[in-house]
A and B are shown apart, each in its own frame.
Chain A
Amino acid sequence: MIKDITLGQYFPGESVIHRIDPRVKIILTLAYIVMLFVAKGPIGYGICLAALIYMIAVSKISLRIILRSMKPLLFIIVFTAILNMFYIPGRILVEFWILRITYEGIETAIYMALRIAMLISGTFVLLTYTTSPIMLTDGIEHLLNPLKKLKFPVHELAMMMTIALRFIPTLIEETDKIMSAQKARGADFESGNLINRARALVPILVPLFISAFRRADELAVAMECRCYRGSVGRTRLKVLKMQPLDYIAICVSLVLCVSIILSAVM
């Protein structure tokens, strides 16, 4: 059951989207999010949607996975849409008791739902599904590099993120294992009142914490054995380098951004 979480999962591949430099991807994702909020009217949304559909098609990530990742947020999408539908004033379409639905309301509801759905699927396709966690933190470290001048521990932060991301699947697996083991001894996590259920978590949490500390300890020793001492004098195996593909991606995105802004202003 825990294994069904797809949030933040990486699907390996060789597509154009996979190959774009992580720094470029992070910036383009930010631009994409901003554009979703700038966009107005069918033209702006149309461009965003077309870009999204193109990305999904190229990345070869199955539509089922994308739809599944939206499932937990479905409630928020529907809720926002309904709220907008009833509360936007304008030309009345249907009136019923104190509820009235307006043309403008329906329009806004559709746009809102589209915006949230596109926001989620877009960031997933552009970032998490197609960028390995290591590339992602690498990209973040590079982008934050200027902060080093302010004595901000950029490398340490990136290393912590890398380690945290690396251990999420391990911990999930571990939780699954411990849960099964306690279930085999008759532990019951599903029935009883809230207090009983909270108490039932102790047999999972204690071993989980102990193993997390053990892993942390082992990892620290292993890193020290390899003379890890932070960022000073550290070089990389894979140096990030901008490729023609990255410049093309930036140019195309720029054109799209300008047209979205223009369509919104005019």
Chain B
Amino acid sequence: MSTIIEARSLTYTYGVGTPFEHTALDNVSFRIEEGEFVGIIGHTGSGKSTLVQMLNGLVTPSSGEVYFRDKNIHDKDYKLRDMRFKVGLVFQYPEYQLFEETVYRDIAFGPKNMGLSESEIDDRVREAARFTGIREEQLEKSPFELSGGQKRRVAIAGVLAMRPEVLILDEPTSGLDPRGRERILELIKSYHRERGTTVLFVTHSMEDIARTVERLIVLNESKLVLDDIPENVFLKADFLDSIGLDVPQITKVFMLLSEKYGINIPTSVYTVKYAKKIVDELMAKGEIK
């Protein structure tokens, strides 16, 4: 695997010299390998959104650099606009950026800006619509006639249609009902599986992220505090709690079982599926009934 994005000691300070001065990001470094599915998690105001906007050059760091495929994106002759097609960023509440008359044209906005041919654009729009579960007849509707969840999927399709090499999603499930959340998570997972795209998933909800990602980056008060596989991150439940983050409910149950009742089970369980497997094994061994 090769490194696709590298962040080198990124720091960002807002409003320098005014009473509103605030450090949004403090010396954050990491490498993202090609094909990885990484979760970036942190409390509100931990600098997540600033960080992802740096990764595609929308925000220039006060100090530090971003490398995309080993090239410094802040170099003078670096073509930032071309790079943005390769690092697709879905903003928080992306449904508020819809503006075209039809769903089709809104999804086509990105590919059109890339200067692709009509047939290529059509191809991509239909593919993105299929991935996001937008029906054929909805493509000719106005995006403003759709429901909130549908609008969100249209907005995500608008980024997928650019066929980015890295897909970054900033809180893609916020404000949706459980079914809408499930649907978005499912579509991101299947997109990652089918296309092998590198995915960065930003959220503050552990429940969302626990089942999905292969690696977790935890931000707290503008600093990177943990960068590890989910099992190891959730082992530090007390620490996560102290920085205002929650561990998944199933992990909590297992921790309680092990602490209070002395049952010998791993506390790094974070998915119900895995939990079931362990419980089944224990039952088979006859340790619990």
Chain A positions near chain B (C-beta within 8 angstroms): 3, 11-13, 62, 64-65, 177-178, 180-188, 202-203, 206-207, 210-211
**Given A11-B18, A62-B17, A184:B159 Cβ within 8 A:** yes
B283 part of interface (Cβ distance < 8 Å): no
Give Cα A207 to B94, complex, Å.
11
Nearest CB of chain B from residue A180's CB, rounded to whole Å: 5
B97: which A residues are within 8 A, CB to CB?
Answer: 178, 181-182, 203, 207
Interface residue from B85, B91, B98 paired with A186 (Cβ < 8 Å)? B85
Binding site for A on B (CB under 8 A): 15, 17-19, 53, 56, 58, 81, 84-85, 88-89, 91, 94, 96-99, 109-110, 113-114, 144, 158-159, 162
A203 contacts B109, C-beta separation under 8 Å: yes
Contacts A185-B158, A206-B99 given; indicate if A180 touches B53 (C-beta within 8 A): yes
Q: Are A202 and B99 in contact (CB under 8 A)?
A: yes
Q: Give A2 to B94 CA distance when docked, in angstroms.
A: 21
Tell whether, in the assembled complex, residue A65 and residue B17 are in contact, meaning their CB atoms are under 8 Å apart.
yes
Pick the contact of A11 from B19, B81, B110, B144 — CB < 8 Å?
B19
Point out the residues of chain A lying under 8 angstroms from B113, CB to CB.
Answer: 185-188
Q: Which chain A residues lie closer than 8 Å to B85 at the CB level?
A: 186
Contact indicator A185/B109 (Cβ below 8 Å):
yes
| CB-CB under 8 A for A186 and B19, given A181-B91, A211-B96 | no
Contacting residue for A185 out of B17, B18, B19, B162, CB 8 A = B162
Task: Specify which of A177, A185, A202 lies most central, judged by the most chain B CB atoms within 10 Å of its CB.
Answer: A185
Could you show 6 A-B contacts with beta carbons less than 8 Å apart? A181-B89, A181-B94, A185-B109, A185-B113, A185-B158, A186-B84
CB distance from B146 to the nearest CB of A (A): 13
Contacts of A211 in B (CB 8 A): 96
| Residues of A contacting B: mostly | helix
Contacts A184-B159, A185-B109, A186-B85 given; does A177 touch B91 at CB 8 Å: yes
With A and B bound together, what is the CA distance between A216 and B66 in angstroms?
A: 39
Given contacts A12-B19, A177-B91, contact A186 B144 (CB under 8 A): no
How far is B158's CA from A202's CA once the two chains are assembled, in angstroms? 17
Closest residue of chain A to B113, judged by CB?
A: A186
Residue of B18, B58, B97, B158 ringed by the most chain A CB atoms within 10 A? B97
Q: Closest residue to A202 on the B side, CB-wise?
A: B99
**When the two chains form their complex, are residues A186 and B18 in contact, meaning their CB atoms are under 8 A apart?**
no
Give the chain A neighbours of B99 by CB distance below 8 A: 202-203, 206-207
Known contacts A206-B99, A207-B97; A184 and B88 CB within 8 A of each other: yes
Knowing that A65-B18, A183-B84, A186-B114 touch, tell me 16 more A-B residue pairs with CB under 8 angstroms. Answer: A62-B17, A177-B96, A178-B97, A181-B94, A184-B58, A184-B84, A184-B159, A185-B110, A186-B85, A186-B113, A188-B113, A203-B99, A207-B99, A210-B96, A210-B144, A211-B96
> What is the bound-complex CA distance between A178 and B96, given in angstroms?
8
Name the contact of B91 in the complex, choosing from A3, A13, A184 (C-beta under 8 A): A184
Bound form: Cα–Cα A186–B99 in Å: 15
Q: How distant is B60 from chain A, measured CB to nearest CB, in Å?
A: 11
Of chain A, the residue at the smallest CB distance from B88 is A184
> Which chain A residues border B114 with CB–CB below 8 Å?
186
- For the complex of A and B, 9 pairs with smallest distance between CB atoms: A186-B113, A206-B99, A185-B110, A181-B97, A184-B89, A181-B91, A180-B58, A203-B99, A207-B99
Which residues from chain A contact B158 at a C-beta distance below 8 Å? 185
List of A residues within 8 angstroms of B89 by Cβ = 181, 184
The residues of A that contact B84 with a CB separation of less than 8 Å are 183-186
Q: How far is the CA of A109 from the CA of B81 in the complex (A)?
A: 47
Residues of B within 8 A of A207 (CB): 96-99
The smallest C-beta distance from A207 to any residue of chain B, in angstroms, reads: 5
CA distance A187 to B94 in the complex (A): 15
Shortest A264–chain B CB gap in Å is: 38
A64 and B18 CA atoms in complex are apart in Å by: 9
Q: Which residues of B contact A203 (CB under 8 A)?
A: 97, 99, 109
Which residues of chain A are near B159, meaning CB under 8 Å?
Answer: 184-185
Across the interface, B17 reaches (CB within 8 A) one of A12, A64, A180, A183, namely A64
* Closest residue on chain A to residue B87 by CB atoms: A184
Measured between beta carbons, the chain A residues less than 8 angstroms from B94 are: 181
Closest to B101 in A: A206
- When chains A and B are docked, how far (Å) is the Cα of A3 from the Cα of B19? 14
Q: Which partner residue on chain A sits nearest B93 by CB separation?
A: A177
A150, B206: Cα distance in complex, Å? 61
Chain B residues contacting A206 (CB-CB under 8 Å) are 99
- Taking the closest CB of chain B, its distance from the CB of A202, in whole angstroms, is 7
Which single member of B81, B88, B98, B144 contacts A188 (CB below 8 Å)? Answer: B81
Q: Which residue of A lies closest to B14 (CB)?
A: A3
Contacts of B88 in A (CB 8 A): 184
